[in-house]
Every structure is written in structure tokens, then in C-alpha cells.
Amino acid sequence: MKRLILTRHAKSSWDDPLTPDHDRPLNERGKAAAADLGVWLASRGYIPGEVLCSDALRTRKTWSGIAPALPGTPVLELKPALYHAGADVMLAVLRHAKADTVMMIGHNPGIGEFARKLVARELSNPEFARYPTGATLVCDFSIDTWDDVAWAQGVVDDFIVPREIDS
């Protein structure tokens, strides 16, 4: 059994139009949402052993906001390939994961497409189709290694967007 925690980065700042996209930080709402996601994950026992994260600033800061609420220190791997990656690239990156529970932090539209293609049954929650900032899917796979992961195998355990979290 393998578990994937799939998170889109929290809300980023557009305050400085000259900031390159890769270097956009989180805004205040995004910082709060990342912290709330960490508490939510910990409260449900969704603890990654490995984190595969786009190397963009907003994904790294999302992880920095989540991490303090989680026990232990998961292995963090910054993956430049995840920056604005499509679903096929995300799948290829996931197939190299080692931990039983992996968190992947990325960007739309690829992460939303990736989530929809991974699950065996799409969620009826309208937010799942949009996959807004901070959206987090937790799903399980009946596989021995991540190398065996394929489309439409994921069984959904949970799905949340930050504004649904009672902080």
C-alpha cells in the first residue's frame, strides 16, 4: 500500500508585477493556509515520509508552512521538473519515490489534471475539478512500489481546500 498527498501550492502574491513567476512568494492568506494544511494533515495522521516539491518559491514556502505541524523530518526533494509540470511528468517523478507516504507539491493546471487522472472515481466536490490553491488530495494505491503506479488506481481518502479547514 502506498499513499499520496497531492497539494497545490498555497495562494501566492502578485504584489510586484516584475517578480518572475518562479520567484513569487506566498501572500498572507497563503501563509495562513499552508499552516492550516499542516495542522489538518497532522490531525488526520497524513504524515509524508518524502516530499517531492517543485523548486518554485511558492511551493517551497507552502512546504515551509506545512512542515512545522508534522512530526519527524520527511526527506524533502526539490524537483525542477515539477515546475508547471503536466500530469505525465508528475507521474514520471512519482514513480521514482521511495517512501510509503509521499507528498507532492506542484502547480495548476498540471496538478489538477494529475489528480483527476490518478483517482479511480472522481470526486463530486466541485473544488476537485478546479483544484484551487492549497487543494490537497490524499489517496491510496494498492501497489508494492511507486514504479507500479498508473492512472485510475487511486482510492480517495480525503480532499480539502484551505477555506474548508476550521482553524
pTM attached to this predicted model: 0.96
Q: Domain segments of the chain: what residues?
A: 1-8+26-119+144-155
What is the SS3 string spanning the chain? CEEEEEEECCCECCCCCCCCHHHCCECHHHHHHHHHHHHHHHHCCCCCCEEEECCCHHHHHHHHHHHHHCCCCCEEEECHHHCCCCHHHHHHHHCCCCCCEEEEEECCCHHHHHHHHHECCCCCCHHHHHCCCCCEEEEEECCCCHHHCCCCCEEEEEEECHHHCCC
Q: pLDDT over 70 for what percent of the chain?
A: 99
1-8+26-119+144-155: which CATH topology?
A: Rossmann fold (3.40.50)
Digit-by-digit pLDDT tens for the chain (167 residues) are 999 999 999 999 988 889 999 999 999 999 999 999 999 999 999 999 999 999 999 999 999 999 999 998 898 999 999 999 999 999 999 999 999 999 999 999 999 999 999 999 989 899 999 999 999 999 999 999 999 999 999 999 999 999 999 75
pLDDT digit string (tens) for 48-89?
999 999 999 999 999 999 999 999 889 899 999 999 999 999
